[in-house]
């Protein structure tokens, strides 16, 4: 067991790179936890009740409690690491004073409680689908739900059968598969929420290699139904969301992808509130972390609200040209360093590339 520090918290855990780690901790997810702290600090009210279904060492929940000041009660849950969480709570006792803390070791799939929560966090190994019901059952109106997934092979088109089984969707390996994964995960969460008569608004996403995380707010207003299919040409980069059997550009067969979420991947209003919180010095974090968060959110807030991005590599290899520089495209995406979005069709894109 090693002692770590992250944000304002000191804690015991094992680096997950070590074989047979008993208490999971991944130092590489620091940016993701910083983003989590910022989101909760800027979007939640005081005296909130929090539930973290997969606490690991407890670092995420501890940071949320200590750095946001938004919780009056917090339930840390992990099927395996109750003792280490209790030890880590003890180490940080002073900073946690005034917060009613509970540590449990339930299976998240059957977690039950007699109260509802303003914030629920699902951060499992693999797919979150088995835990959505128990979480949504306990989410208050107006509450925030955070959902992570690491089963990116299923979500991003490498493991088709697993995607069908878990998400009831067809994914596809494309230049923009991480976006497909995000959209399929959002669809699944929406579908499950509908069973509980809950409407959700996607607030923000974060993609880091084999890790997807999405934040939702439960809303009272009925959300527009934005679930459907997308169509990707089997031979060229053309894709569209209007149903078609053949590619409008080259006439080849189209792959049908979905069902997936076709609405916005983030809420501009909420992202702007988070950016303002940084600008107004309301977030107590190191200057370096704040710069990274601000850069990320600024880029997210500029994303065009359209289905899928193209990459310079796929366009250049299709045109059999040397790779186009990113400077040719103004609407970049945070989802790929070589990715950009356009409002028109693939044909429009080719016309602009050829004209320049």
Ligand X SMILES: C[S@@+](CC[C@H](N)C(=O)[O-])C[C@H]1O[C@@H](n2cnc3c(N)ncnc32)[C@H](O)[C@@H]1O
What is the binding site for Zn ion (CB under 5 A)?
Answer: 233, 235-236, 238, 247, 249-250, 252
* Element holding 3 (H helix, E strand): strand 2-6
Residue 56, interface with ligand X (CB under 6 A)? yes
List the single partner that 108 binds among Zn ion, ligand X, none, CB under 5 to 8 Å by kind.
Answer: ligand X
The nearer residue to ligand X, 109 or 273, going by C-beta atoms, is: 109
User: Are 146 and 172 spatial neighbours (Cβ–Cβ below 8 Å)?
Assistant: no
The item of ligand X, Zn ion, none sharing an interface with residue 24, based on CB under 5 to 8 Å by kind, is ligand X
Q: Which is nearer to Zn ion, 326 or 350 (CB)?
A: 350
Question: Does 151 sit near ligand X (CB under 6 A)?
Answer: no
Which secondary structure element, helix H or strand E, spans residue 287, and what is its range? helix 287-301
Comparison of 102 and 250: residue with beta carbon closer to Zn ion:
250
Longest dimension (CA), the chain: 67
Rounded Cα distance between 275 and 291, Å, is 11
Q: Which of 34, 78, 118, 151 binds ligand X (CB under 6 A)?
A: 78
12 is a contact residue toward ligand X (CB under 6 A): no
Smaller CB separation from ligand X, 126 or 228: 126
| Contacts of range 283-291, beta carbons closer than 8 Å, 24 or more positions apart | 283/37, 283/38, 283/41, 283/42, 284/8, 284/67, 285/7, 285/34, 285/37, 285/38, 285/67, 289/31, 289/34
Minimum Å gap between C-beta 140 and ligand X is 21
CA 74/CA 55 separation, integer angstroms: 11
Which partner, ligand X, Zn ion, none, binds residue 318 by CB below 5 to 8 Å per kind? none
To Zn ion, the closest distance from the beta carbon of 229 in angstroms equals 17
Q: What are the two backbone dihedrals, phi and then psi, of residue 197, each rounded to the nearest 5 degrees? A: 55, 40
Q: Please, which residue, 32 or 259, has the CB nearer to ligand X?
A: 32
30 contributes a contact to ligand X by CB under 6 A:
no
CB-wise, 239 or 341, nearer to Zn ion?
Answer: 239
Quick check: 201 and 271 in contact, CB under 8 A?
A: no
Binding segment for ligand X among 65-73, 101-109, 263-271, 285-293 (CB under 6 A)?
Answer: 101-109
Residue 84 within binding range of ligand X, rule CB under 6 A:
no
Q: From the CB of residue 322, how many other CB atoms can be counted at a distance below 10 Å? A: 7
**Cβ partners under 8 Å of residue 229, min gap 6:** 241, 243, 256, 257, 258, 259, 260
Phi, psi of 135 (to 5 degrees): -70, -45
Which residue is closest to ligand X by CB?
56
Nearer to Zn ion, 85 or 238 (CB): 238
The answer to the question of residue 243 lying near ligand X (CB under 6 A) is no
Structure tokens at 65: 């409690």
Residues of this chain that interact with ligand X (CB under 6 A) are 24-25, 29, 53-57, 59-60, 78-81, 107-109, 123-125
């Amino acid at each position: 067991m090693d002692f770590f520090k992250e944000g304002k918290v000191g804690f015991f855990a094992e680096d997950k790179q070590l074989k047979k780690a008993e208490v999971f901790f991944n130092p590489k997810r620091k940016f993701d936890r910083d983003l989590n702290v910022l989101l909760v600090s800027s979007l939640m009210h005081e005296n909130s009740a929090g539930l973290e279904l997969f606490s690991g060492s407890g670092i995420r929940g501890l940071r949320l409690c200590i750095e946001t000041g938004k919780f009056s009660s917090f339930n840390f849950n992990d099927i395996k690491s109750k003792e280490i969480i209790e030890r880590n709570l003890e180490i940080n006792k002073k900073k946690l004073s005034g917060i009613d803390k509970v540590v449990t070791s339930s299976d998240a799939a059957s977690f039950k409680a007699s109260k509802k929560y303003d914030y629920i966090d699902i951060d499992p190994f693999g797919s979150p689908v088995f835990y959505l019901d128990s979480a949504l059952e306990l989410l208050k109106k107006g509450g925030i739900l955070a959902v992570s997934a690491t089963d990116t092979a299923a979500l991003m088109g490498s493991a088709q059968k697993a995607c069908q089984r878990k998400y009831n969707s067809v994914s596809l390996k494309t230049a923009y598969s991480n976006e497909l994964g995000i959209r399929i995960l959002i669809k699944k969460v929406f579908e499950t929420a509908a069973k509980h008569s809950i409407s959700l608004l996607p607030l923000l996403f974060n993609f880091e290699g084999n890790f997807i995380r999405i934040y939702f707010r439960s809303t009272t207003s009925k959300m527009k139904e934005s679930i459907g299919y997308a169509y990707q040409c089997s031979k060229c980069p053309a894709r569209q969301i209007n149903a078609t059997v053949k590619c409008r550009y080259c006439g080849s067969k189209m792959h049908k992808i979905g069902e997936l979420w076709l609405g916005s991947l983030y809420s501009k209003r909420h992202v702007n509130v988070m950016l303002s919180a940084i600008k107004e010095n309301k977030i107590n974090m190191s200057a370096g972390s704040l710069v990274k968060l601000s850069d990320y959110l600024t880029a997210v807030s500029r994303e065009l609200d359209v289905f899928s991005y193209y990459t310079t590599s796929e366009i250049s290899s299709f045109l059999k040209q040397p790779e186009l520089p990113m400077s040719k495209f103004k609407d970049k995406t945070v989802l790929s360093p070589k990715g950009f979005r356009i409002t028109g069709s693939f044909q429009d894109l080719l016309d602009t590339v050829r004209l320049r």
